Amino acid sequence: MSLSTAPAPAPGADRIDMVRARALSIRRSAFTMVHEAQLGHPGGDFSAADILATLYFGVMRYDPKEPRHPDRDRFIMSKGHCTGAFYSVLAQAGFFPETQLKTYMQPLSMLNGHPNRNYLPGIETNTGPLGHGLPVAVGIAIAGKLSARTYRTFVLTGDGELQEGSNWEAAMAAGHHRLNRLTVIVDRNRLQQGARTEETNSLDPLDDKWRAFGFHVEMIDGHDHGALLDVLGADPAGRDKPLCVIANTIKGKGVSFMEDNVSWHHGVPTDEQFAQAMKELI
User: What is the mean pLDDT of each successive set of 10 residues along the chain, which is 282 residues long?
Assistant: 59 82 98 98 98 98 97 98 98 98 96 96 96 98 97 98 97 98 98 94 97 98 97 95 98 98 95 98 96
How big is the chain by its Cα radius of gyration, in Å?
A: 18
Alpha-carbon gap, residue 85 to 23, rounded angstroms:
9
What per-residue confidence (pLDDT) applies to 1? Answer: 40
68 class by beta-carbon count within 10 Å (0-12 exposed, 13-18 middle, 19+ buried): exposed
Residues in the chain: 282
* Dist CA 6 CA 119 (whole Å): 23
Domain architecture of the chain: domains with CATH: 15-280 (3.40.50.970)
